[in-house]
Amino acid sequence: MNLNAKIYVAGSRGLVGSAIVRRLKELGYTNILGKTSKELDLRNQAEVEIFFCNERPEYVFLAAAKVGGIWANNSFPAEFIYDNLIIGSNIIHCAHKYKVSKLLFLGSSCIYPKYAPQPLKEEYLLTGELEPTNEPYAIAKIAGIKLCQAYRRQYGDNFIAVMPTNLYGINDNFNLDTSHVLPALMRKFHEAKLSGTPSVNIWGSGKPRREFLFVDDLADACYFLMQYYDDGEIVNIGTGNDITIADLAAMMAEIIGFTGEIIYDTTKPDGTPIKRLDVSKINNLGWYARTPLRAGIERTYQWFSKEGLMASSRM
């Protein structure tokens, strides 16, 4: 991408989009388009059409999505499938119609079957049943992948799709009702430490294993693939390493300084037992994650304790 290229980052205020904007600015890109949801409703086909017609972006990072943890996915399945289907459809179609040079679609590791072999290879897509708690979201993301592949096959559009593992970092969602496990743990332990609460309750058994990627590493991978990858097959992005939720909680408590008891509520669902990506494809292309989990959590907590806490209080 030329440094003067017009680049649209859909979802530029979110966890992933804001990290991509940060990375692009670090690299010297200045012509970056970003709209808030109030300025541009990506679920509204007419608004998206007008935006693309007027702005004519050359490159698109499609990071906009409705996201959330187990509770949110279970509670609002209609919104998770509808919003994500329509956002992906509107942007991908307009990217084709207005001749975008290249588009990168952000999927999710939850697209893979619940009981697929580990680590998860790209070819496992659609080889088994999905995890029920996030099936609507996963189906919408799979539809986005297939849209990119269909436009590539029929029209030759250079649309690529990437599958990041579980993400965390600056500008994450710390709302306990809708957040993913890592930011939820961070807020719980932080508030328990401040209030002197003797224990923290965590959903599930603590046994499931998860892989976590610092979002700035994801942004770097997305830029790398936008520069050097032009194939229609999906690409996993992750660290290749996982950790149990119990070990993650212990690490989080130590970083934050919480010394109380950690209680696991086994009446709540665990979700997929283990989820770790096979990242050999992107590693073979020349990209590797650089931020160790502990270092990434420490950087995130430093930001959260100063700025993120204020933002989360409004959620």
Question: Tens digit of pLDDT per residue, the chain (315 long)?
Answer: 999 999 999 999 999 999 999 999 999 999 999 999 999 999 999 999 999 999 999 999 999 999 887 788 888 999 999 999 999 999 999 999 999 999 999 999 989 998 899 999 999 999 999 989 889 999 999 999 999 999 999 999 999 999 999 999 999 999 887 788 999 999 999 999 999 999 999 999 999 999 999 999 999 999 999 999 999 999 999 999 999 999 999 999 999 999 999 999 999 988 778 889 999 999 999 999 999 999 999 999 999 998 866 655 444
Q: Catalytic residue numbers?
A: 137
Burial of 34 (0-12, 13-18, 19+ CB in 10 A): middle
| Domain residue ranges in the chain | 7-312
Say which CATH architecture domain 7-312 belongs to: 3-Layer(aba) Sandwich (3.40)
Q: From CA 174, how far away is CA 135, in angstroms rounded?
A: 22
Closest CA to 70 of 164, 138, 134: 134
- Contact between 19 and 219 under an 8 Å Cβ cutoff? The reply is yes
Chain center to CA of 118: 20
Q: From CA 4, how far away is CA 130, in angstroms rounded?
A: 42
What's the pTM? 0.93
Burial of 224 (0-12, 13-18, 19+ CB in 10 A): middle
